[in-house]
Structure 1
Amino acid sequence: MTTAAPNTSRLGAWVASKTGGRITSTAIDVSALAALLLAAVGGSRLWALPPAVLAVGLLAWTWREGAASTSKAAVPRVLLLASAYLLGAVHGGVDLALAVGVALAGLAVLSETPMGFISRAAYPVTANLPGIGARPYRRPNTSRAVLVNGAAVLVVLVCAFIGNLGLIAAAVSAAALGLSLFTLWQGLGRVRARRTSERNLSKALTAYEPAFVVHWTAPAGTAYQVAMWLPYLERLGRKFFVLVRGEANFNEVAALTKAPVVLRTALEDMDSVVTPSMRAAFYVNTATKNNHLLRYTNLTHIQLNHGDSDKVPSHNPVFRMYDKNFVAGQAAIDRFAANGVKMPIEMFSVVGRPQVENVAVAAKPIASIANPRVLYAPTWAGFYADSNYSSLHVGYDIVKALVERGCSIVFRPHPYSNRNPALGRECERIQALLAEDRKANGRPHVFGKQAEVKMSVMDCFNASDAMVSDVSSVVADYLYSEKPFAMVAVSTPADTFTDEFPLGRASYVIDAHGGRVKGLDAILDDFLGADPLASTRQDIKKYYLGDIPPERYAQHFLDEASRYL
């Protein structure tokens, strides 16, 4: 098994962003101090212009960074307020009202540090749990207070520049301080409410009597992992709750289900959520924090995963930690064995992929469709070098070749694609190509928000006659439709592609190993024409997605899951 190596492009971007933030913050501090000195020794109010410009920059900075900017911008803003007072004293005499305005604005700015601390302590605990509350409460709006404080600093500087406007500075600063104090008071109330919820949590969950729990933790923006399973877990007809480990996950799941959602962040928090009625725990990824719940041996731990593919993560030895691994078909079981991951057969249950129950099966051969619609659904670069299967760097050439053959395109990249700047730029190139062709030739291309938000993956399947992807779980799901599909060989030469990725036997393999597409025309001739792999797809469909009657496809999963409840 290949040793995972960091994705250097993502690591470099992260380091650059952090370094850039520190440099910007330091530059603001130094500039503010310079402005202070200039204001003190300058012979004209024109010396107020540098700190005024800086104040505008700070206001934009705090608006962009929000609550996270409080510690970054507090010092330079206090220095700017000192600049304002010196401007008034040196160039217009001591103005008591201006001094009061400076003091009040300074107190408002300094209050941001405890405000941020209290806000972090006011995280939600539950949503939809009977006995605690139907709705999650929100954090206090610290970003609004930070923005108003920045505006107050700017107003004080302007008042000092013009002169004789100390009363305005005092009034605006008093309003800013009032909002900051209100936000602090609001935060303290929500911290008390959070503590009350925590004290009542174990009792409320026990009274609720859940039969199982869904444990989920993942980076923000990955709610699709749990969203694909929630409708089927709800169809089990048993009480359950979703246990999440971060506030971003909490907000995402609370918007997806009416089932209780519980946020617990630490290992020691687990005891309060494991109740006598619980029989099983379901997982949809292999996150490290899954271990925090796996240690409860009174539960049956079932790994669902969020897709089935021939990727390296799909045969990770970590799957051995779970009591049961629900897999789509025999291909998943064989994949572990083929890669040296020894697991007893009783650890597996073949349940199909219930999410494909409404995927339409091909009604006619692709050659009979005059202008077929092709779904291009590339994966992203992955977290590590050994799981980078994305074809987006050659996607433009493939999409252009399809358009030139009269195809219309549904373009749905992986949700993480824009997290990689290079892949994000490729997505923009493809969207620009499709927009230009749609305008010039009227082809009904679908992309952007329409394909990525308004349509589900299954909607995209049903809206297409064929698909191009790479090594991705969408390929196995698309297999259910029996429509032709092509896989782009990126990490492996095309002539050995099926050795590493057996699903390629049912696919038209596009050779892009080495960063350049080769032999595309011949592949597209078969892909959109005679389709010699049609019968192969039908055979491999059962191997990858289970030999399950279509009319009971999703019910088969429900029956198997119910056995452990």
Structure 2
Amino acid sequence: MKVLKTLNNAAAYAGQRLVARQHRKFINRHATELFHTPTGEAKYKVALYFADPMVNAYQIRQWYEPMKQLAKHVPVVIIARRPDSALALREECALPVHYAPTIEDVENLVNTQDLRLVFYVNQNIRNFQMMRFNTPDHVFISHGESEKAYMWSNQLKAYDYVFSAGQAARDRLAEHLHNYDAGHRTRLIGRPQIDVAYLAPYSINHSLPTVLYAPTWEGDRPSMNYGSLLSHGEKLVDSLIKDGGFNVIFRPHPRSGVNSAQYGQAVNRVKQKLDEANTTSAARLLFDDTTHWGWQWAQSDICITDISAVAYDFLATGKPMFVTTPVSDEATISDSPALSQVPALSAAQAVEIPALVRSALVDENTGFKEVVEYYFGDVTEGASMQRFIHESLSLVDGNLGIASPPSYRAA
């Protein structure tokens, strides 16, 4: 069996190499703009670095709009290290994309441009190939605020700065990272994604309340096993369908099933349940696999999610929500003001979700406002985007004492 597995892995690797060569040939012949290096005032000053395959594109997609707003002030480029990702990103993002497959290509980009700031959305090991350059400031922006152990990884010490959502993130780093000056190394920007108007791709029956169920994936190690789909999800969705009084938006994490076939199969089962019930239900029952994350916040009245970035994105809306309690004893759970204020949902309570949702929609959680401010700061319209642009330009200009941030009007 081990020999067969080794042979299968070798065949898959050979296939991937062949596809990569085909993509590179296509770029060399038909997408040469991916090698473009502007001159003069058009030289890139800010880069958004992405070394991953498109299965992880959800991590960079949420930064398209903030980067487009920043690009109104300074030239911004996306650096892609894989040919398939470079081709896909150039199709779906309005920002220029530069394909740099080798370290020599990265060096050429650095040497020909005026890069002063490089953003990173994850902890890909190839980030370090870019971080070897001393000139630009290297800034970790992550792909969402959460209480996952990932958010206080010791790897954050490698970056010059961390752009954090609010004081909660700064306090979290100060508590967990040794020999780290969180006060100096973090910049608080809020959540600029909430200052973007997203177009909803689906129609909703607005006469009924809408429940967003957005579980995270199964994780890649026991400490990150926060996903609720197997423990809560199917029972929860069955109960909502049977009740008939709620629209449902089911949005599984894009990586669902990557490490667990059983978890991926559960996604398919829930999709089938929703599709079948949607043909006769007055409610709108949606399986959401759209690439964009944001329109769901405006369309939903309440959210059910796991310990993940989704919880904190939705928290900023001030709408009610539930956070599932992991059934795994190995999942790392930290004490946090957010989790103490947001109602928890155990696996046993999943079948009771219609009654719990109705109660949550009429009850007032008086602690929400203080928690939102602690995690995101000022969330009035445009405030987060303004802080993001201000902190970015302060690093680009090398002047931390800019008197006032640039003006910004929500998109």
* Short-chain TM bin: 0.7 to 0.9
User: Secondary structure in 2 aligned to 1:437?
Assistant: helix
- Indicate which of 291, 294, 313 corresponds to 2:150: 313
> Using the alignment, how far apart are the partners of 1:421 and 1:442 within structure 2?
33
Cα 1:418–1:535 change in 2 (3 A) is same
Matched with 1:507 is 342
* TM-score, length basis structure 2: 0.81
How many Å apart are 1:256 and its aligned residue? 2.7
Q: Which moved more, 1:294-303 or 1:431-440?
A: 431-440
Evaluate the alpha carbon distance shift between residue 261 and residue 343 of structure 1 in structure 2; reply closer, same or farther with a 3 A threshold: same
For residues 343-386 of structure 1, what are the alpha-carbon distances to aligned partners after superposition, in whole Å with 9 as ceiling and x for unaligned?
Answer: 211100110111112479xxxxxxxx984210110110122222
Match of 1:410 in 2: 249
Q: Work out the CA distance in 1 between the residues paired with 2:266 and 2:7.
A: 25
Find the partner of 1:437 among 269, 277, 295: 277
1:79-118 counterparts in 2 under 5 A?
A: none
Which residue matches 1:124? 27
The answer as to 2:58 corresponding to 1:224 is yes
Q: Write the deviation string for residues 392-415 of structure 1: whole angstroms up to 9, x where unpaired.
A: 103010112233342221111111
Q: How far, CA to CA, are the matches of 2:293 and 2:367 in structure 1? A: 24
Q: Is the aligned partner of 1:326 residue 2:163?
A: yes
Alpha-carbon shift at residue 117 of structure 1 (Å): 10
Change in CA separation of 1:120 and 1:458 when aligned onto 2, cut-off 3 Å? closer
Note the aligned Cα RMSD (angstroms): 3.4
Residue 235 of structure 1: aligned partner: 69
Query: Paired residue for 1:246?
Result: 82
Cα distance in 2 between the residues matched to 1:334 and 1:117 = 43
TM-score normalised per structure 1: 0.60
SS at match of 1:214: strand
Counterpart Cα distance in 2 of 1:556 and 1:127: 39
Name the residue aligned to 1:346: 184
Alignment partners' CA distance in 2, 1:426 and 1:342: 43
- 1:554 Cα shift? 1.5
* Alignment partners' CA distance in 1, 2:4 and 2:267: 22
Q: Distance in 2 between matches of 1:118 and 1:505?
A: 51
Cross-structure match for 1:150: none
Q: How many residues align?
A: 379
Q: Distance in 2 between matches of 1:22 and 1:251?
A: 25
Q: 1:307 offset after TM fit, Å?
A: 0.7
Question: Is 2:383 the counterpart of 1:552?
Answer: yes
CA distance in 2, matches of 1:533, 1:492: 31
CA contact (8 A) 1:391 1:488 kept: yes
Q: Which protein has the bigger helix share?
A: 1
Match runs of 1:13-24 below 5 Å: 18=5, 21=8
Alignment counterpart, residue 292 of structure 1, candidates 103, 113, 129: 129
Amino acid at match of 1:243: I
SS at match of 2:345: strand
Residues 342, 485 of structure 1: alpha-carbon distance in 2 compared, 3 angstrom cutoff: farther
**Aligned equivalents of 1:422, 1:315: Cα separation in 2:** 29
Question: Cα deviations across residues 417-465 of structure 1 (Å, max 9, x unaligned)?
Answer: 1434212211122122223332343321111xxx2227x3221121111
- Check 1:294–1:553 CA distance in 2 against 1; reply closer, same or farther (3 A cut): same
Cα distance between partner residues in 2 of 1:249 and 1:446:
28
Q: Structure 1 residues 434, 313: CA separation in 2 closer, same or farther (over 3 Å shift)? A: same
Superposition deviation, residue 298 in structure 1: 1.4
Name the SS of the counterpart of 1:446 in structure 2.
strand
Of 235, 238, 241, the residue aligned with 1:397 is 235
CA distance in 2, matches of 1:314, 1:69: 31
1:518 aligns with 2:348: yes
CA distance in 2, matches of 1:564, 1:284: 18
Say whether the 8 Å CA contact 1:243–1:263 is kept in structure 2: yes
Of 86, 108, 133, 1:272 maps to 108
Following superposition, the deviation at residue 126 of structure 1 comes to 11
1:478 aligned to 2:297?
no
Distance apart, 1:521 and its partner CA? 6.1
CA displacement at 1:233 relative to structure 2: 1.5
- Give % identity: 24
Provide, for residues 272-298 of structure 1, a one-character-per-residue CA deviation record: whole Å limited to 9, x for no partner.
111352211111112111111112111
Give the CA deviation at 1:416.
1.2
Aligned to 1:457: 293
Any gaps of 5 or more consecutive residues in structure 2?
199-205, 397-411
Deviations 1:67-97 (A, max 9, x none): 9399xxxxxxxxxxxxxxxxxxxxxxxxxxx
Gaps of at least 5 residues in structure 1 are 1-11, 26-64, 71-114, 137-196, 361-368, 512-516
* Structure (1 or 2) with the larger CA radius of gyration: 1
Q: Please say if residues 239 and 352 of structure 2, whose CA atoms lie closer than 8 Å, have aligned partners that are also in contact.
A: no
* Contact 1:507–1:533 (CA under 8 A) maintained in structure 2: no
CA distance in 1, matches of 2:376, 2:39: 38
| Deviations 1:489-517 (CA, angstroms, capped at 9, x unpaired) | 11567xx9974454222322112xxxxx2
Summarize the Cα distance change of 1:117–1:429 in structure 2 as closer, same or farther, 3 Å threshold: closer
SS at match of 1:292: helix
Report the equivalent of 1:356: 194
Higher RCO (Cα < 8 Å, 6 or more apart) = 2
SS of corresponding position for 2:122: coil
Shift of the 550–428 alpha-carbon distance from structure 1 to 2, 3 Å rule, reads: same
Alignment of structure 1 residues 148-227 onto 2, 5 Å: 204-207=37-40, 208-227=42-61
In structure 2, relative to structure 1, the CA distance for the partners of 1:383 and 1:69 (3 Å cut) is closer
